[in-house]
């Protein structure tokens, strides 16, 4: 029962943090140390339960997604101009997804092992929190998504790829980059959520396939060196459902908030959390 409890708690943590610029993967990594399992829930668990929160994105932005997909296909077959804003946005999302796919495959082993060190998590929380604050403070506020260029799409895709490192934050990296390039907060956030859909669904479904095909229990871990899964597949799926429900509520809140509010509270929180993590690691309260 303790594993079910921990899985649900981690689902709640995922739902609360996925769409805020504070890094859900960092929070899952930290929370795992304080739950009864007392261990890293793992990159596979993290990727799979993100399917729940990305489903919330699909539901919340369904009209936008339908327009983008429809316009993309119509432009592809010449039924509407190729420079249609929604069609171009579809191409931008495709191009922007390439960096995270390539880097995710190339550095898969490091992402699932050394980059999950809590020392790295603490550092990225602080450093990228400061960068988010600077970008939001100094960034202009005049670009909308219809004014996006190919160069901006590629840069935002590279920014999203940084989120492969726990602590960076997918939304924080892409929103921060968007603000640095001059996009309005709502536009930067909307594009960040849309851009994440292909990458997160691809990663989650890939990890789900790997887990079902070659499950890694304690015995397999000793024999092959794979990373043992702490939670069963039913527990992981329940955590994903919980994350999706809470994530939908958080998206609605966040989109209303950034229409007028700044990212300063999130910057302060990131720095405070990263600093607290360094203190706990230094005192030996938790292990990296």
Return the pLDDT at 68: 95
The whole-model pTM stands at 0.86
10-residue averages of pLDDT along the chain (288 residues): 84 93 89 74 82 93 95 93 93 95 88 85 95 89 88 95 90 94 93 93 84 63 56 88 96 93 94 95 85
Return the pLDDT at 283: 92
Distances (CA, A) of 151 to 6, 128, 148: 43, 22, 8
For residues 204 and 244, give the distance between their C-alpha atoms in angstroms, rounded to a whole number: 14
Beta bridge partners of 143: 183
| In the chain, where the domains are located | 66-236+253-282
Return the pLDDT at 229: 65
E strands, the chain, where? none
Return the pLDDT at 286: 79
For residues 284 and 252, give the distance between their C-alpha atoms in angstroms, rounded to a whole number: 39
Return the pLDDT at 272: 97
Return the pLDDT at 261: 87
Distances (CA, A) of 255 to 40, 68, 185, 236, 262: 31, 19, 9, 28, 12
Return the pLDDT at 39: 63
Return the pLDDT at 260: 86
Q: Which residues, at least 6 apart from 276, have a Cβ–Cβ distance to it below 8 Å?
A: none
Return the pLDDT at 34: 83
């Amino acid at each position: 029962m303790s594993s079910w409890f921990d899985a649900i708690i981690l689902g709640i943590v995922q739902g609360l943090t996925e769409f805020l610029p504070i890094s859900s993967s960092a929070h899952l990594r930290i929370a795992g140390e304080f739950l009864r399992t007392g261990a890293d829930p793992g990159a596979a668990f993290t990727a799979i339960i993100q399917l729940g929160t990305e489903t919330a994105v699909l539901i919340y932005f369904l009209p936008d997604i339908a327009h983008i997909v429809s316009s993309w296909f119509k432009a592809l077959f010449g039924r509407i101009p190729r420079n249609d804003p929604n069609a171009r946005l579809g191409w931008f999302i495709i191009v922007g997804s390439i960096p995270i796919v390539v880097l995710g495959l190339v550095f898969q082993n490091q992402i699932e092992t050394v980059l999950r060190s809590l020392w790295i998590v603490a550092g990225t929380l602080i450093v990228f929190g400061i960068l988010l604050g600077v970008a939001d403070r100094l960034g202009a506020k005049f670009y909308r998504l219809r004014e996006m260029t190919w160069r901006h799409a590629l840069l935002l895709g590279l920014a999203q790829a940084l989120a492969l490192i726990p602590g960076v934050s997918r939304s924080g990296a892409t929103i921060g980059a968007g603000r640095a390039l001059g996009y309005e907060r709502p536009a930067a956030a909307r594009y960040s959520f849309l851009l994440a859909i292909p990458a997160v669904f691809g990663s989650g479904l890939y990890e789900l396939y790997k887990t079902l095909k070659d499950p890694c229990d304690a015995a397999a871990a000793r024999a092959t060196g794979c990373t043992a899964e702490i939670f069963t597949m039913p527990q992981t799926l329940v955590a994903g459902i919980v994350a999706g429900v809470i994530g939908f509520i958080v998206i609605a809140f966040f989109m209303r908030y950034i229409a007028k509010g700044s990212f300063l509270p999130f910057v302060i929180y990131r720095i405070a959390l990263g600093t607290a993590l360094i203190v706990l690691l230094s005192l030996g309260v938790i292990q990296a």
